[in-house]
Structure 1
Amino acid sequence: VLFKYFICEAVAMASVKNIFFNFLFIVFFCNWFEAVVPYLCKENNRVGKCELLENCESLKNTRLAAEVHFNADCSRSGLTGTVVCCQTQRRRYVPKTTPRTTTRRTTTRRRTTTVSPQRVGLNPRGLELLNNNNCGAIKNDRIAHAVNAVQGEFPWVAMLLYAEMKPLCGGSIITDRYILTAAHCIKPELQRVRLGEHRISTIRDCVSGVCQSFEEFGIDPYQKPQVHPNYRSLANYKDIALIKLDRTIDFAAHRHIKPVCLPIPPMISPVLPSDDLILAGWGLKENDLPVDILQKGVMKLEELNRCETLYSLYKVDDSRLCIQAGANNSVSCRGDSGAPLFWKSEYISNNYILQRYTQIGLVSLGYGKECGSLTSEPFMYENVTDSLQWITNAILN
């Protein structure tokens, strides 16, 4: 690199008699050198090369890129755009040691669209239960206008069965004994919870020689479903509940059944508006058509201000998520209540950064009269992060 600048500057300072030759030499030689010899840099005491973020395989699909993209070594690389110090080796997690400074906005209040993991006020014993299993495993890189999920793609999605064994709500596995769902799904008619389901019309589902069967669980007779103490049914406020199963889930025996992660340590990445949020359930499709196969749809996080305007009769605070239809115009419908909303987040495992599916919300005020119709208006979902303190205490009962 020093050789490049020495030659280029030496030529540039040559006699003006050869100014045209100098100009051509600088343009072609320096550009050729830039393309052939990468501009080296150092990040966390490791050598890398300066590249555009979209060309760096180790960083372009991670939220941490936003934190590490500026590197002083790359300031004179000549690249334009988001330039990073790209390292090909597997990334280790290096916590920041410099204190963060905060500024207070004095402009018009604008609700943030970033949802960060909860780190304070959580019961340590409850955290241990939530982190005790291999949660949120990613298998592949009634949701109107959704697509069929791959068999076993989301092994934490639960189906709540009521009188006449009708599936009217969904839920998610968070431990080997507890299901997370919406409070308005807790009714006297609730009878059983079905796990490991994919296609409702068949008892045994098989794809490419791999077969799985659903498992049904009852409700613990000694522990009624727990509804959040601040739940208000008319306002759908704190619309979140826990169901304790009548027996423990044997994850080793039923490998197609697994829990989802919750936004707690060791998760390190927040949810951003650019993230794809996934909703999975068996709710009605467009035109109130029933669903046979588990559906999945892509959603996006919106500013709370939008939902605050649309849902003026409801209390809109940090316990809510404002969710917009995403890439495949997915919206939730009747039967999706309690279904999990999750995304690919980053976790620390043995000092390495891995990706896991993490539940950020669940369907609450997620459908209306226009169920199944394409709409530009967002819906309000329950923010799981806001209830983690209650969850980490309630699962100890």
Structure 2
Amino acid sequence: MKTFVKSHTNMLYLSELVLFTTCILLTQYSVQGTIYSCNTTAPCGCSQNKVNINSRIVGGETAASHSWAWAVSLRKPSVGHFCGGTIISPHYILTAAHCLEGVSLSRITITAAVGTDTLYDSEGQRVIASNIYMHPRWNTVTKENDIAIIKLKNAISFGGSNIAKLCLPAISVFDATSFPSPNTNLVAIGWGSTITGGSSSNVLRQVTVQSVSDQVQKCSNSINNVDLQFCAAVNGGGKDTCQGDSGGPLMYYSPVYQQWMIAGITSYGRGCGLSGYAGVYARASVYISWIKQIVGADGVVIAGEDDVVTPGGNTANIGSMSSIFSMMMLAFLFLIRSF
């Protein structure tokens, strides 16, 4: 009888250990993995392929194939990729003013590569720039108004599933200087280097950061205009945009509209991913009127316009599911101990 009890007790402890270890592993390695499903009937802010983000990956991660259909690689002859951009309409690309500082299209050709995730292939479309619109108040010293628009010679074809427009934010003029609010999750994409001074990434990468209050030192020591700019980073550093990501979008996912919208344009920062310095972004919401003035009737879209919002869930959070599973397993262990 004693032998049976001892054996039963050992088996009980072993089963507890196995289940506890499983719970820990699920929690540690699955938390924060998120698949974003968007409204595929929306005129902007939704790619055909779902966005899959694991924000635990240090320094960012390779983007799922064609999950960011509005990503643009801006290229020069003999240089190749030099900045990022965003498709906002068939003829227009949004980017940073500092990317185009001193560029004359009469002397150099700028090509927008769209519908591709890699820098060295022939996939997608290549469209030549025909005009550049720099913000009239762009300041090369303070980096204020670091925004520019490129007009394309020919319209982008949206016939394939790999190309789409990104929405402009659905923000009132009264809230324009406060979007995004501090501690909002945002996603940046680009082909920039993964370390300071490194070469460009061949594949499109993504990184999740949070908007930072301008009162926090790592933002206040870098930002010059809190109305026109905002900061984003992660606690402890290690995740950031870097050289080559400039001009690309920093995006917010709206659970209300189930669409992605542009929150910021990658502008500048000190180093890449340093814990004491946040990245600085042009605040897209304050430029909506200027963008509309340039683009006109070419099809730029505000999030939620001409859109039917689908009720129900919008993300599948693997972390939440694993946490629920872990709690269920722990409850099961407690019940076993009760017998």
Same fold per superposition (TM over 0.5): yes
Find out whether 1:146 has 2:53 as its counterpart: no
Give 1:329's match in structure 2, choosing from 234, 238, 241. 238
| Corresponding residue of 1:116 | none
Shift of 1:374: 4.2
Secondary structure, in 3 states, of the residue corresponding to 1:332? coil
Shift in alpha-carbon separation, 1:363–1:192, aligned structure 2, 3 A: same
Q: How does 1:210-229 map to 2 (within 5 A)?
A: 213-220=123-130, 224-229=131-136
Find out whether 1:382 has 2:282 as its counterpart: yes
Find out whether 1:197 has 2:116 as its counterpart: yes
In structure 1, what is the Cα distance between the partners aligned to 2:96 and 2:141? 14
Secondary structure, in 3 states, of the residue corresponding to 2:288? helix
Secondary structure, in 3 states, of the residue corresponding to 2:209? strand
Shift of 1:275: 3.0
Give 2:221's match in structure 1, choosing from 310, 315, 340. 310
In structure 2, what is the Cα distance between the partners aligned to 1:152 and 1:326? 29
Which amino acid in 2 is paired with 1:362?
A: I
Secondary structure, in 3 states, of the residue corresponding to 1:201? coil
| Corresponding residue of 2:170 | 264
In structure 2, what is the Cα distance between the partners aligned to 1:354 and 1:308? 30
Secondary structure, in 3 states, of the residue corresponding to 2:290? helix
Shift in alpha-carbon separation, 1:315–1:140, aligned structure 2, 3 A: closer
Structure 2 unaligned spans of 5+: 1-33, 35-40, 298-339
Shift of 1:175: 0.9
Shift of 1:185: 1.0
CA contact (8 A) 1:325 1:376 kept: no
Shift of 1:308: 6.1
Q: What do residues 120-178 of structure 1 show as CA deviations (whole Å, max 9, x unaligned)?
A: xxxxxxxxxxxx9711115235x981100011110101010013151110010011111
Give 1:361's match in structure 2, choosing from 261, 264, 275. 264
Which amino acid in 1 is paired with 2:148?
A: A
Q: How does 1:46-125 map to 2 (within 5 A)?
A: none
Shift in alpha-carbon separation, 1:283–1:378, aligned structure 2, 3 A: same
CA contact (8 A) 1:299 1:326 kept: no
| Corresponding residue of 2:309 | none
Secondary structure, in 3 states, of the residue corresponding to 1:164? coil
CA contact (8 A) 1:276 1:300 kept: yes
In structure 2, what is the Cα distance between the partners aligned to 1:326 and 1:190? 40
In structure 2, what is the Cα distance between the partners aligned to 1:199 and 1:166? 12
In structure 2, what is the Cα distance between the partners aligned to 1:229 and 1:380? 20
Instruction: State the TM-score, normalizing by the size of structure 2.
Output: 0.65
CA contact (8 A) 1:329 1:374 kept: yes
In structure 1, what is the Cα distance between the partners aligned to 2:168 and 2:236? 24
Which amino acid in 1 is paired with 2:186?
A: L
CA contact (8 A) 1:282 1:335 kept: yes
Q: What do residues 80-114 of structure 1 show as CA deviations (whole Å, max 9, x unaligned)?
A: xxxxxxxxxxxxxxxxxxxxxxxxxxxxxxxxxxx
CA contact (8 A) 1:299 1:327 kept: no
CA contact (8 A) 1:183 1:241 kept: yes
Secondary structure, in 3 states, of the residue corresponding to 2:119? coil
Find out whether 1:249 has 2:161 as its counterpart: no
Which amino acid in 2 is paired with 1:364?
A: S
Report the aligned-residue RMSD. 2.9
In structure 2, what is the Cα distance between the partners aligned to 1:316 and 1:354? 30
Question: Radius of gyration: which is bigger?
Answer: 1
Q: What do residues 174-220 of structure 1 show as CA deviations (whole Å, max 9, x unaligned)?
A: 111110000011123452111012122333xxxxxxxxx22100012
Shift of 1:337: 0.7
Secondary structure, in 3 states, of the residue corresponding to 1:219? strand
Shift in alpha-carbon separation, 1:242–1:326, aligned structure 2, 3 A: farther
Structure 1 unaligned spans of 5+: 1-60, 62-131, 204-212, 347-352
